[in-house]
Amino acid sequence: MRLTLFATARDAADSLARHVVAFVREKPDLVLGLPTGRTPIRFYRELVRQARAGAVDLGRLVTFNLDEFLGVGPRHRGSYRFYMERHFFRQIGLPGDRANFLDGMASDPRGECERYERAIAAFGGIDIQILGIGGNGHIGFNEPGSWLEVRTHIVELRPETRRANALLFDGDPVRVPREALSMGVGTILGARRILMLATGKEKARAVAKMVRGPLTTDVPASLLQLHADVEVLLDAAAASRLDRA
Ligand code: GLP
């Protein structure tokens, strides 16, 4: 796991965007795994800016989002699909058939998870997976617990995660769905390269546990240590607990 430290969250996000621009220049039809949340907003903005400035053509990308709430449709303002359209896809005009999502309204959620795994495999797997981290150490929606599912699956969200996502649902954690669909840790580890963006002091504890180990399902992000090519881009606040015992 390589750590790169930046003075500010903005610097970290801009650097991540530069990484992705460089990768896309090398391979325009890159298969990119994408996160949502507050952290990557600046990253998407910078990527859009670079595309509009002509620095990179994002039109041939293939994307797979990490996760989605169960029971919300693409036009629901709380859905991750809505977030992605707003912050990225609508801005760059990516053809709809190149952006892949888990369908939160699927009548057969289990079948939907299997479909997603097949779709990722059909594109030859994910080249680069961008990740954020939850304050409790989750990645995607793989919540801490005594066990984890390997592949894309239905998850029950923890109260702290519902609280963290409340802003998407009029600030009311009760309105945040109790369940979601998420790539599994095995799906994530299947990506050829992983880049994580973690900023802010509320992530410092989870980042320290992820980096120091031990490997445990109680800190799903710690399992990223099993991957040979992970880079973590941090601001000073998120890195602030790394030097403590
Ligand atoms: C959500 C998402 C994760 C994301 C995490 C952190 O729960 N499912 O993929 O990494 O929140 O979000 P934020 O960047 O808002 O702290």
For the segment 86-97, what is each residue's pLDDT rounded down to a tens digit? Answer: 999 998 887 778
- Give me the residue spans of the domains in the chain: 2-244
Q: Is 153 designated active site? A: no
Q: What pLDDT shows up at residue 12?
A: 98
Q: What is the DSSP string of 139-157?
A: BTTB--SS---SSSEEEEP
Atom of ligand 1 at shortest range from CA of 39: 14
Band of residue 244 on the pLDDT scale cut at 50, 70, 90: low
List of residues 6+ apart from 83 with CB closer than 8 A: 36, 168
Q: Is 136 designated active site? A: yes
**CA 100 to ligand 1 center in whole angstroms:** 18
Q: Is 170 designated active site? A: no
Which 3 state secondary structure label does DSSP give 76? coil
CATH architecture of the domain with residue range 2-244: 3-Layer(aba) Sandwich (3.40)
- Pick the catalytic residue from 65, 68, 85, 136: 136
Q: Taking 90 as the threshold, does the pLDDT of residue 245 lie above it?
A: no
How far apart, in whole angstroms, are the C-alpha atoms of residue 197 and residue 234? 6
Tell me if 37 CB under 6 Å of ligand 1.
yes
Tell me if 161 CB under 6 Å of ligand 1.
yes
- Structure tokens given for 43: 């990253």
List of residues 6+ apart from 165 with CB closer than 8 A: 78, 157, 173, 176
Band of residue 187 on the pLDDT scale cut at 50, 70, 90: very high
Which 3 state secondary structure label does DSSP give 197? strand
The whole-model pTM stands at 0.96
Atom of ligand 1 at shortest range from CA of 40: 14
Identify the burial level of 90 via C-beta atoms within 10 angstroms of its C-beta, where 0-12 means exposed, 13-18 middle and 19 or more buried.
Answer: exposed
The predicted-structure confidence for 146-178, as pLDDT tens digits, reads as follows 999 999 999 999 999 999 999 999 999 999 999
Tell me if 182 CB under 6 Å of ligand 1.
no
How far apart, in whole angstroms, are the C-alpha atoms of residue 188 and residue 149? 12
- Pick the catalytic residue from 87, 138, 165, 235: 138
